[in-house]
Structure 1
Amino acid sequence: MQTDIGAATAMHEKNVHLIRWLTYLMFMMFAMTSDSVGEIIKEVKREFDVSNTQASLMHSLFMIGIAFSGLFLGFLADKFGRKKTIILGLALFALSCYLFLVGSSFEFILGLITLSGLAVGVFKTAALALIGDISRSTKEHTGTMNGAEAFFGVGAIIGPLIVAWMVREGVDWKLLYVLAGGLCTLLILMAWKADYPVQAPPTHGHKPVSFISSLRLLKNPYAMGFSIGAFLYVAAESAIYVWMPSYLVCDAMSVSESFACYTDGPQKMLAMYAVSVFFSLRALGRFVGIWMMQRYNWALVLMLFSLAITLCFIAGLAGGKSVALYAFPLTGVFMSVIYPTFNSKGICCFAKSEHGTVAGVILFFTAAGAAAGPFIMGLVSDAFGGDAKYGFMVATGFSVVLFLGLLYNFVFNPTEKRLREIEAVEYS
């Protein structure tokens, strides 16, 4: 009997380990495309002769797709199960990637970008809910969330490097999406073969799950508090990977002169790969965050890191491009743990049977921030002659408000009691 129990436990642990790695790889795969957008926007502007505002739709429509999907389809993971929802989302994402092979107009590409955003919203909410199913405590949940976002960071490093190589070698940047589609197909096969854990049953008195469940959460102070924080954070973060490449380039007539204003070799190299440096620092910080969030007060860490982000933005604006070249990528260190911790603590304020729905609500505000932030920056930059500096003033405003909110969270700690209650009921 003991042997059978031990074998079953070992099998369960092995399966949880596999599910965790599948989740990490899903995050890495879609980051390859989503966080390459800053590099892609530069090519889109040249290829289709569009303005900053029009080019920013490459990012904004993707995020609008995620936002719509998160709010109106987030309940699918709770209603139909994590596995079916993940496979559905991955299949839609793969389809959108492969269709890049058959269309070349700017409008068609924007349509595919929107479809891929809808797909990401479907499988990401299910993946976020799945993290709750395999976690044994709220602290472990936060650690696993940082792990997932760390692999997202790895994908965010790989994607821009691939695009930079493609541009240098004269390869069409659209092939990045085809590559992501191939990886997505492999993940579909792995997800189909995996044995997912039993989904948590609804709590007593729980109402039937539907998109109304998501709308109901818009009145919940815990869901809205973390959602607004996610909006502000992502609006500031996306400023770096969407508009930093445009801010750092010199006033030049050709691609070869883009970084001519940086006189020494290392500076030119850093300017060329600034987005990859930012993502590298963010990914490294998230791996450290797995350890950090098990040992330190998460509210204190987030408050101090948000202050550091604000100071980096101010330094990059006040000191010009030569200072921003170092200050803006450095924000990756301080941004590393903020979003996964927001996501984890926000989801952990609810029963596991609601994790897909609440993950969708937070994802809606995340995507709304990622769509609105860069779009507003593009509008402001165009209004002042196309200089990205003015857009970064907007991003600095987002970071200031985020810091003030996290300062309030640290001082008053409004979620402490709720997290203790959930820990005792859902994770004991």
Structure 2
Amino acid sequence: MQRRRILFILFLIYFVFAILLNSVGTVILQVIHSYGVSKSSASVLEGFKDLPIAIVSFAVASFLPRLGYKRAMLVGLAIVTCACLAMPLVPAFGTAKLLFLAVGVSFALTKVSVYSTLGLIAKDRKEHAGLMNLLEGFFMVGVLCAYWVFGFFIDSHDPSSRGWLNVYWLLAALCAATFVLLTMTTFDERLAALPAERTPAQDFAAMLKLFFKPLVCIFVVTAFLYVLIEQSVGSWLPTFNNEILKLPAAMSVQVTSIFAACLAAGRLSAGIVLRRLHWYPVMNVCLLGMGAVVVLALPLTHDVVANPNVTWATAPAAAFLFPLIGLFMAPIYPGINSVMLSSLPPAQHSAMTGLLVIFSALGGTTGSLITGYVFGAFSGHFAFYLTLVPIGVVLVMLFFFRRAVEGAGDGGDQLGASTIMGSQH
């Protein structure tokens, strides 16, 4: 029962941050309307979210086990609760920047803690892969809910209305409730303890040494490129729906939920698929499927005529076809993460997750900034066609990642044999 309670808390925390992190695309659309900022200016919100994730992860991941995973998650929840309350109380573009700054700092603490805790719970590599995909699938359920929750508060008849800010009262309450539940849950983190005689500086040096392993280098580059693709699509799809497909603002956000639903379905089902099939051919099929969706769907977005009475039944076919890219995209991130982490002992998961978070954050910011620039300077069509380039590079990187994993041996099968509860040691 204690194990299930911990898993429930971890999934709930990830659900909360899924809503906050992936609201950036919706907020970009809304600040353009509500505060009159340009697309290029609005695109910096991704940077305010992702750069703090990278910086904080780099600074604290190596010695986070000394602080404690539970304490780190509590600090993160407290910060985002206050940030959510500030949004409706002090409505401004600057407040939106501070919100995503707070979300970035908090998620850096939280993701490292959640991933590391999973390493303590998992008994072997297969269970680790299942829990990782379930966690990331639940994350996407949160993303899916976010589009509808925000869409409910958006007034399509008055795009400049600031009534959408009332959603943050609800989010603040959700963050506070999660904080209380976490406070009431006990953790045993002794298996993640770092050597007492080692200093924080030595912990940090050990994380840097980890980066220079060939397997880790290939992994972080692959993760960087994957997140670049995902954030390029996720952050700008609401704006693409609104400006290219001529959908109303609220509907533009709600239709984007198809993308999140596909990511959720793909990740939840990947846990089953990857227990039966080798991860490498599955990843290759997924990448080829992503490229096929881009090539087939984007030509349908040209010459769309605005329809003031558009409904779900009369929306352009591309509005439903292009988000299917998420179904193929879904298994890649949790799949490669699980392969990497399950190749390391639990005590190294915090440092490895720190490196993962750093490069994921940098990939997200790079993707959003490039897409925002190309979207404004050229067109939304060209911006999304460009995703074919990193898709091709990831396909090549996975080949070298597999060779590096096989060269490292099967030590990852030793993962687990451990649990976070003292009664099951």
TM-score range, shorter chain: 0.7 to 0.9
Equivalent residue for 1:382? 376
Q: 1:347 to 1:175 in 2, by over 3 A?
A: farther
Task: For residues 240-261 of structure 1, give each alpha carbon's deviation from its aligned partner in whole angstroms, at most 9, with x where no partner exists.
Answer: 2211222233569xxxxx338x
How does 1:3-152 map onto structure 2 within 5 Å?
14-152=1-139
Equivalent residue for 2:330? 336
Equivalent residue for 1:178? 169
What is the percentage of aligned positions where both structures have the same residue? 24
Three-state SS of the structure 2 residue aligned to 1:403 is helix
Equivalent pair of 1:348/1:419 in contact (CA under 8 Å): no
Give the superposition deviation at 1:283.
0.7
Aligned residue pairs total 399
Equivalent pair of 2:65/2:192 in contact (CA under 8 Å): no
Residue type at the aligned position of 2:92: S
**Bigger mean CA offset, 41-50 vs 314-323:** 314-323
**Bigger mean CA offset, 370-379 vs 189-198:** 189-198
Task: For residues 365-385 of structure 1, give each alpha carbon's deviation from its aligned partner in whole angstroms, at most 9, with x where no partner exists.
Answer: 11111111011111122222x
Task: For residues 23-66 of structure 1, give each alpha carbon's deviation from its aligned partner in whole angstroms, at most 9, with x where no partner exists.
Answer: 11111111112222222211111112122111112222111121
Counterparts of 1:75 and 1:42, CA distance in 2? 36
Segments of structure 1 that go 5 or more residues without pairing to the other structure are 1-13, 253-257, 261-267
Q: 1:244 to 1:223 in 2, by over 3 A?
A: same
Task: For residues 341-376 of structure 1, give each alpha carbon's deviation from its aligned partner in whole angstroms, at most 9, with x where no partner exists.
Answer: 122222222221121111111011111111110111
Residue type at the aligned position of 2:397: G
Equivalent pair of 1:381/1:388 in contact (CA under 8 Å): yes
Counterparts of 1:250 and 1:383, CA distance in 2? 14
Instruction: Identify which of 265, 269, 275 aligns with 1:288.
Output: 269
Q: Is 1:274 the counterpart of 2:255 in the alignment?
A: yes
Equivalent residue for 1:406? 398
Q: 1:405 to 1:48 in 2, by over 3 A?
A: same
Task: For residues 372-415 of structure 1, give each alpha carbon's deviation from its aligned partner in whole angstroms, at most 9, with x where no partner exists.
Answer: 1011111122222xx22222133221112112222444xx5321
Task: For residues 81-100 of structure 1, give each alpha carbon's deviation from its aligned partner in whole angstroms, at most 9, with x where no partner exists.
Answer: 21122212222222222222
Equivalent residue for 2:406? 416
Give the superposition deviation at 1:187.
1.6
Task: For residues 243-297 of structure 1, give each alpha carbon's deviation from its aligned partner in whole angstroms, at most 9, with x where no partner exists.
Answer: 1222233569xxxxx338xxxxxxx998663310111111112111121121110
Equivalent pair of 2:124/2:415 in contact (CA under 8 Å): no
Equivalent residue for 2:240? 247
Equivalent pair of 2:48/2:100 in contact (CA under 8 Å): yes
Give the superposition deviation at 1:111.
2.0
Counterparts of 1:206 and 1:312, CA distance in 2? 53
Give the superposition deviation at 1:426.
5.1
Equivalent residue for 1:302? 283
Residue type at the aligned position of 1:416: E
Counterparts of 1:178 and 1:116, CA distance in 2? 16
Residue type at the aligned position of 1:94: T
Residue type at the aligned position of 1:307: L
Equivalent residue for 1:365? 359
Three-state SS of the structure 1 residue aligned to 2:163 is coil
Give the superposition deviation at 1:216.
2.9
Counterparts of 2:199 and 2:416, CA distance in 1? 20
Counterparts of 1:259 and 1:92, CA distance in 2? 35
Equivalent pair of 1:72/1:214 in contact (CA under 8 Å): no
Equivalent pair of 2:68/2:189 in contact (CA under 8 Å): no
Equivalent residue for 2:179? 188
Counterparts of 2:395 and 2:412, CA distance in 1? 27
Equivalent residue for 2:144? 157
Three-state SS of the structure 2 residue aligned to 1:173 is helix
Task: For residues 172-201 of structure 1, give each alpha carbon's deviation from its aligned partner in whole angstroms, at most 9, with x where no partner exists.
Answer: 223333322221222222212112133325
Give the superposition deviation at 1:121.
0.7
Equivalent residue for 1:9? none
Q: 1:401 to 1:318 in 2, by over 3 A?
A: farther
Task: For residues 301-356 of structure 1, give each alpha carbon's deviation from its aligned partner in whole angstroms, at most 9, with x where no partner exists.
Answer: 11110111122122233443556434321011111111111222222222211211
Residue type at the aligned position of 2:238: P
Counterparts of 2:141 and 2:182, CA distance in 1? 21
Equivalent residue for 2:310? none
Equivalent pair of 2:29/2:239 in contact (CA under 8 Å): yes
**Bigger mean CA offset, 293-302 vs 204-213:** 204-213
Equivalent pair of 2:147/2:253 in contact (CA under 8 Å): no
Q: 1:25 to 1:349 in 2, by over 3 A?
A: same
Counterparts of 2:323 and 2:294, CA distance in 1? 10
Q: 1:272 to 1:191 in 2, by over 3 A?
A: closer
- Alignment RMSD: 2.6
Segments of structure 2 that go 5 or more residues without pairing to the other structure are 303-315, 419-425
Equivalent residue for 2:247? 259
TM-score when normalising by structure 2: 0.86
